[in-house]
Amino acid sequence: MQQIPIAVPSINEDDVSAVSAAVSSGWVSGRGRNIVEFEKEYSEWLGVKQTVTCSTGTSALHLALVSAGIGPGDEVVIPAFSMGAVAFAVSYTGAKIVLVDSELDSWNMDPMRLEEKITPKTKAIIAMHTYGHPVDMDPILEICARKGITLIEDAAEAHGSLYKGKRTATMGRIGCFSFFSNKIITTGEGGAVVTFDDQIAERARILRDMAFSKDASKKFLHEFVGFNYRMTNMQAALGRTQLKRINQFIEIRRSNAQIYNSRLRGMKGIIMPPEKEWAKSVYWMYSVLVQPQYGLTRDELMRELSTRGIETRPFFVPVHQQPVYARDFIGEKYPVAEELSATGLNLPSGNTLTAEQVQVVSNLVKSLSE
């Protein structure tokens, strides 16, 4: 039986050689030339002034919030349909999480539902570019500019996606990325905060490194509560060689998505992933909604595919339905987020996925409904 995993990173000899060289150099922790060079090269590729690497995408979100001054007494608006890390990062700061529902036709935060959630305590909005598809940014940017709210873009799943020709993570005050193994490029674990704001970048650099003093003679004197969020030199070495192939990886994801689209289009009960006319999605995951007309539930389809060697993932669970947060949102309903979570399925989508494997998966999805 052919085994087709959900996502496997593409690692070549250049990647292995770069990491090996970093290990041989002795610079194996959070110092080294590769970190400096990766930050510079990523900034140049993305088109931002500053990149601050860190240990994970979650730590990037936390650093972004703390560097923007978010703390207890503040409110941060996030999509109800989001990965748990978005909510966790807000919780780490002591700020209050405020939820907004998504659009059914983009699966992202609904800008038309946003303003009603804003209060005088709202200090930040996190716009998450879901599964590689950009959020409708213009209305959110207008609201943030008018009300003086910090906009943070969570582009953990959206390296290289475009909103009206602009790269995601470059429009808000701060952008955040993950370089986990299933992302468009990987450093194993890893993340980054990106910005045009030098003050934000400087604060993020200090906080990620335990808030050590810049004065070498007073290194262990701390003005702030810092975090051990450094990326290692080995990870950055891998990031640099991966970055050289990022456009190739994006094209693989988009090409495979088009094959999926062509083979699943018109199927009863399968809603294909969105790509709005103003967007270029990178299809981090090829994601579908499984409707009753399909004949199997989402969970039944997952089980059937699993018995045939096909690995899949369900969609995120909305924040208000998470056991750790449910008591904070008693009585609140987010119907679009709930529908996405109940019916959404991620099919194999990684950088090593072949066109032939896409056809195998598509044929199985089609045959199981017959």
DSSP per-residue string spanning 31-70: -SHHHHHHHHHHHHHHT-SEEEEES-HHHHHHHHHHHTT-
Q: Residue 248: in which H helix or E strand, if any?
A: helix 246-264
Q: What pLDDT shows up at residue 361?
A: 98
| Cβ atoms 172, 148 nearer than 8 A | no
> What is the rounded CA–CA span in Å between residue 73 and residue 29?
36
| Maximum CA extent, the chain | 73
Q: What pLDDT shows up at residue 212?
A: 86
CA nearest neighbour of 288 among 345, 246, 356: 345
Domains of the chain: 13-243 (3.40.640.10), 246-367 (3.90.1150.10)
Residue bearing tokens 């009206």: 164
β-strand partners of 152: 126, 174
> What is the rounded CA–CA span in Å between residue 177 and residue 190?
9
Residues across the chain = 370
Report the DSSP pairing between strands 122-128 and 150-154. Answer: parallel
HSE value, Cβ hemisphere, 13 Å, CA-based, for 124: 33
**3-state class (DSSP) for residue 195:** strand
Residue 278 phi, psi dihedral angles, 5° rounding:
-95, 5
CA nearest neighbour of 43 among 279, 251, 243, 229: 243
Predicted TM-score (pTM) of this structure: 0.97
DSSP per-residue string spanning 67-106: HTT--TT-EEEEESSS-HHHHHHHHHHTPEEEEEPBPTTT
> What is the rounded CA–CA span in Å between residue 19 and residue 34?
10
> What is the rounded CA–CA span in Å between residue 293 and residue 97?
36
Q: What pLDDT shows up at residue 369?
A: 87
Q: What pLDDT shows up at residue 20?
A: 97
> What is the rounded CA–CA span in Å between residue 54 and residue 59?
7
Cβ atoms within 10 Å, residue 360: 17
User: Which residues of the chain are modeled with pLDDT < 70?
Assistant: 1, 370
Burial of 295 (0-12, 13-18, 19+ CB in 10 A): middle
Q: What pLDDT shows up at residue 1?
A: 65
Q: What does the pLDDT look like over 106-143, one tens digit per residue?
A: 999 999 999 999 999 999 999 999 999 999 999 999 99
Q: What does the pLDDT look like over 270-328, one tens digit per residue?
A: 999 999 999 999 999 999 999 999 999 999 999 999 999 999 999 999 999 999 999 99
β-strand partners of 175: 153, 194
308-320 burial code (b ≥16 CB/10 A, e <16)? bebbbbebbbbbb
